[in-house]
């Protein structure tokens, strides 16, 4: 793998965005490609984890080393037993965890992340079914969930993550439904203590901002439901992030390399365009790392 660009995004006090291009970073890899990525923060240190294939492994990197002024310094590569196309970090019981999924498999895998020993230990697997195109953990008050959606069938299900008496982790289904087919590019964010997500429907040409209901046995309802512009339908990436005051933003990416940066309205009924820029075309994966006062976006593109 190589990178086209590493950029730092800073939200200034007047809400303007400042983008800074940082030195090129090469992710050490003997694998064919990076297929997914996640970040976890432990005691103020950010770790970036990259799922790789052929052979399947998880590459753990130190996102930023202040003393060395280095970015994405590799620490260890850990073999895994299954391919991964979704990788997410979350926190449960005060500890960092990872979940992974591949749409051809029917299980979500959970791993415990140990930042001191820098190990990733498989703990348990939960059968959810094949074909899910979005798998995302989320929090509400003291509870941790994950949501899975299949854009081909519309099937959606929510699981609550729990700690049973005689095992370290389990997930139990609390809600399921059938949504419209075709929703894609989900990106989740929090406003106050509430969970929202933006999504685009390529079949019905819509863009929604949804609010997840507070009760564990309920789903979501749209706050915004409007026709999707041609620009929104052409995107390959939508990713949310926050400023230092935890106000939510999102960036978008088109295959030709055009990126936009946008701030959600306070009522979540729309957004304002804050910045547009041109980056490298045909980026295969955007890895985002939300640091304390800035956002890092590492744009990866497969060699050859």
Of the given ranges (29-38, 59-68, 159-168, 227-236), which has the lowest mean pLDDT? 29-38
Rounded Cα distance, 53 and 65, in Å: 26
Q: Is the peptide bond before 55 cis (omega within 30 degrees of 0)?
A: yes
Model confidence at 135, pLDDT cuts 50, 70, 90, reads very high
The model's pTM is: 0.93
Q: What is the pLDDT of residue 140?
A: 85
**Helix%, strand%, coil% for the chain, nearest 5:** 0, 60, 35
Q: What is the pLDDT of residues 190-207, one digit of tens each?
A: 998 889 999 999 999 999
Q: What is the pLDDT of residues 65-114, one digit of tens each?
A: 888 888 998 899 999 999 999 999 999 988 999 999 999 999 999 999 99
Q: What is the pLDDT of residue 219?
A: 85
pLDDT at 2 over 60: no
Rounded Cα distance, 58 and 53, in Å: 9
The DSSP letter of residue 94 is T
| Share of residues in the chain with pLDDT > 90 (%) | 73
pLDDT at 234 over 50: yes
pLDDT at 303 over 60: no
Q: What is the mean pLDDT of residues 148-160?
A: 97
Q: Are 112 and 121 a contacting pair, CB within 8 Å? A: yes
Q: Are 125 and 110 a contacting pair, CB within 8 Å? A: yes
Label the pairing between strands 206-212 and 220-227: antiparallel
pLDDT at 51 over 50: yes
Rounded Cα distance, 215 and 232, in Å: 31
Q: What is the pLDDT of residue 3?
A: 53
| Closest to 151 in 3D by CA, of 199, 101, 85 | 199
Rounded Cα distance, 277 and 188, in Å: 23
Q: What is the pLDDT of residues 39-50, one digit of tens each?
A: 999 988 999 999
Rounded Cα distance, 163 and 171, in Å: 8
Q: Helix, strand or coil for residue 34?
A: strand
Q: What is the pLDDT of residue 304?
A: 44
- Average pLDDT value over all residues in the chain: 91
pLDDT at 217 over 90: no
CB atoms < 10 A from the CB of 127, how many? 9
């Amino acid at each position: 793998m190589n990178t086209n660009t590493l950029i730092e995004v800073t939200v200034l006090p007047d809400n303007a965005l400042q983008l800074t291009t940082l030195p090129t970073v090469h992710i050490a890899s003997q694998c064919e490609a990076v297929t997914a990525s996640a970040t976890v923060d432990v005691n103020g240190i950010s770790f970036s984890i990259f799922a790789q294939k052929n052979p399947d492994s998880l590459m753990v990197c130190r996102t930023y080393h202040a003393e060395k002024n280095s970015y994405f310094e590799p620490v260890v590569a850990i073999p895994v037993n299954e391919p991964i196309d979704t990788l997410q970090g979350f926190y449960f019981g005060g500890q960092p965890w990872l979940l992974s999924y591949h749409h051809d498999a029917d299980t979500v895998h959970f791993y415990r992340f140990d930042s001191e020993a820098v190990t990733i230990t498989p703990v348990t697997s939960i059968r959810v079914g094949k074909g899910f195109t979005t798998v995302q953990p989320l929090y509400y008050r003291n509870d941790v969930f994950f949501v899975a959606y299949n854009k081909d069938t519309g099937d959606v299900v929510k699981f609550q993550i729990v700690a049973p008496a005689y095992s370290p982790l389990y997930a139990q289904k609390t809600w399921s439904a059938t949504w419209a087919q075709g929703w894609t590019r989900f990106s989740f964010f929090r406003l106050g203590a509430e969970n929202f997500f933006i999504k685009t429907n390529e079949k019905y040409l819509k863009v929604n901002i949804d609010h997840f209901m507070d009760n564990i046995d309920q789903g979501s309802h749209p706050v915004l439901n409007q026709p999707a512009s041609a620009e929104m339908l052409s995107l390959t990436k939508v990713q949310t992030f926050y400023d230092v005051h935890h106000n939510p933003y999102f960036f978008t990416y088109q295959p030709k390399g055009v990126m936009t940066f946008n701030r959600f309205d306070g009522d979540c009924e729309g957004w304002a365009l804050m910045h547009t820029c041109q980056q490298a075309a045909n980026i295969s994966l955007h890895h985002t790392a939300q640091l304390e006062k800035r956002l890092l976006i590492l744009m990866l593109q497969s060699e050859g």
